[in-house]
Amino acid sequence: MSLPCLTAARRFDVGAHLPFWIDAEQVGWIRSGDVHLLERWPDVFEINGTRVTLAPAFNTVDLRSAALASVIGALAGQGRIPGWRNETYAIRNAFDARPLAYIERAASRFFGTMTYAVHLNGVVEYAHGGAPGGAPRLWIARRSETKATDPGMLDNVVAGGIGWGFSVETTIVKECWEEAGIPEEIAVRAVAGRTAHVLQSLPEGTQAEQIFIYDLVLPADFVPRNQDGEVGEHRLARIDEVARWIEEGAMTVDASLATLDCLLRRRWIDEEACAGIETLFAPPLPAVRAL
């Protein structure tokens, strides 16, 4: 199986970016072509040929957040940061680490900071009338054409970023309802898979993301119903259909990885057909480092 998601998930040129530092940690990547945009704020950023550093005078979470918010607001007003979300993300190199600052979600890719997301595979184990032995299927979503990222592409039945103040578990419950109308009493049955790591260049910047993958077995008679307008349609797909969509690049990179993890763990596809994918289920990205 040819897997474009494997190439895309690591499509990143270190030489085309400058590392972004806060305090003693590299927390992101800024495209070299965008660095000049930050020169308007010499009191906020220290810029040289090797890195962009938030000025050490901003030495608390509140001061850093306020300084970045002013810059982000101006850049968004110029159209340099698209897809404003009104959601707060924490800048942190590990999910359980203390935040160094808070930023608007849309700015995370401009600065290339680490983000965290949940992807959930909606599994129907017995698709034919609930009878054991029926062929397993997966509920697949098509993203709304109005989505800021990957409009119209195929996705997992539930997928969403983890905002500041939300745990993995609360995000699953929230996103299950918003994206698929899955009630909490079913959502809490989700079972953890593996964690994928993505570092890829995108039109809006850099996606450096840790994806927590879950499976949720759904009742055979359950039909997802989107609640927030972010999903165009749902379809119950055969395993061979899903594998073909992944191979054709019809699914988002994130969804492809999450789905492949499910298919491999359940042995619904051959591991030899996915050579190289194990490198994406590895320890945290070495691109993020500390002094």
Q: How far apart are CA 169 and CA 175, in angstroms?
A: 10
Count the domains in the chain.
2
pLDDT (tens place) for every residue of the chain, 291 residues total: 667 787 888 899 999 999 999 999 999 999 999 999 999 999 999 999 899 999 999 999 999 999 999 999 999 999 999 989 999 999 999 999 999 999 999 999 999 999 999 999 999 987 555 445 568 999 999 988 887 777 889 999 999 999 999 999 999 999 999 999 999 999 999 999 999 999 999 999 999 999 999 999 999 999 999 898 888 899 999 999 999 999 999 999 999 999 999 999 998 887 776 666 666 774 433 333 333
Find tokens 């998601």 and name the residue. 5
Torsion of CA 205, 208, 212, 218, to 10 degrees: 20
Same domain? For 243 and 127 the reply is yes
Q: Is 19 helix (H, G, I), strand (E, B) or coil?
A: strand
On whether residue 285 sits in a domain, the answer given is no
Kindly report the pTM of this predicted structure.
0.90
Among 94, 114, 134, residue at a domain's last position = 114
User: How far is Cα 187 from Cα 195, in angstroms, rounded to an integer?
Assistant: 19
Report the DSSP beta bridge partners of residue 123: 138, 217
| 125 shares a domain with 109 | no
Residues 232, 253 within the same domain: yes
